[in-house]
Amino acid sequence: MLPVTLVTGPGAALRERAIAARLEQGSDTAIILEGLAEAGSPLADFADLPPDAWRPAIHRIAPGCLCCAGNLVLRVTLNRILRRPPAQLFISLADPAHVGQLRASLSAAPYDTLLCLGADLAA
């Protein structure tokens, strides 16, 4: 099962910094980020690396509640990631109001047999 960490916090840069601090060099990691990158994001640095360098797979999706308005976009992105599952997945939420609802959605079929939700990471 794919370990998943939901990341919450007041701003994209803080959430992305918290994720960057948890990355393990060489580990096959995917990250779903809700919203646009802010200036100074440590994850933006990966875009400047040479193609053969290690980097996490970063997927940005439009801001909006992931369990409500963005549910379809999240599911499509997640299903694409699950075709070749990484060793770890981070999902960064712009609005933590519905973390419980998102956890319930990710704990239901078909994801209940594919994902292992760990403790949330507060940035």
The CATH number for 22's domain is: 3.40.1010
User: How many Å apart are CA 8 and CA 24, to the nearest integer?
Assistant: 20
Per-residue pLDDT, 91: 95
Cβ–Cβ contacts within 10 Å for residue 37, how many?
15
- Looking at the structure of the chain, the number of domains it has is 1
Per-residue pLDDT, 16: 93
Does residue 88 belong to any structural domain of this protein?
yes
Domain that holds residue 107: 2-37+55-122
Does residue 113 belong to any structural domain of this protein?
yes
Cβ–Cβ < 8 Å for 89, 27: no
Does residue 43 belong to any structural domain of this protein?
no
User: How many Å apart are CA 6 and CA 119, to the nearest integer?
Assistant: 7
Does residue 102 belong to any structural domain of this protein?
yes
Per-residue pLDDT, 34: 84
Does residue 24 belong to any structural domain of this protein?
yes
Does residue 16 belong to any structural domain of this protein?
yes
User: How many Å apart are CA 122 and CA 19, to the nearest integer?
Assistant: 10
pLDDT means over runs of 10, the chain (123 residues): 94 91 94 81 80 88 68 90 97 86 92 97 92
User: How many Å apart are CA 55 and CA 27, to the nearest integer?
Assistant: 9
Nearest to 63 by CA among 114, 4, 12: 12
Does residue 50 belong to any structural domain of this protein?
no
